[in-house]
Each structure stands twice: as structure tokens, then as C-alpha cells.
Amino acid sequence: MGKSAKQTPLKFKEKAKSLFLEHPGVDKVYFTQDGMPFLSEEEAAVQAETLKDKTVTTIKR
């Protein structure tokens, strides 16, 4: 479902780094293509359904 790390936009990586600092128990962050971060893959998928590009990008700690 998610894109590989090599294709991950830098803005997603930077935001994920910040979220990992804020949420030390979280190992993955999910981004919809509008740049919205989610801690839940299911919530990201729901948001993605409202977008033209329905891709969810996963970033691992």
C-alpha cells in the first residue's frame, strides 16, 4: 500500500521525524498525498479515499 522509502518526499520524512519525537511509542507514520500525517493506517486510508491520488505513504522509525 505504501510507497518505498526511496520515493518518499522529503517533507514527509521531516514531519515523520518530528512525530516520532512527539510519540515515542509509534513505529510508523502514514501520509496521504495531501501531506496529512496519521498514526493509524486505517485513518490514512479513509482520508486517501477523498483524494484524487489515493496513495498512502508509510514511513518507519
Average pLDDT over residues 2-26: 83
Q: Provide the residue range defining the domain that includes 31.
A: 5-60
Q: What is the DSSP string of the chain?
A: -PPPGGG--HHHHHHHHHHHHH-TT--EEEEETTS-EES-HHHHHHHHTTSSS--EEEEE-
Q: Is the pTM of this model over 0.95?
A: no
* Tally of domains within the chain: 1
C-alpha angle 35-32-19 in degrees, rounded to nearest 5: 60
For the stretch 32-58, pLDDT in tens is 999 999 999 999 999 999 999 999 999
5 pLDDT more than 50 = no
pLDDT interval class at 2 (50, 70, 90) = low
- Least Cα distance to 31 among 20, 50, 52, 13 occurs for 13
Residue 34 C-alpha cell reads as 495531501
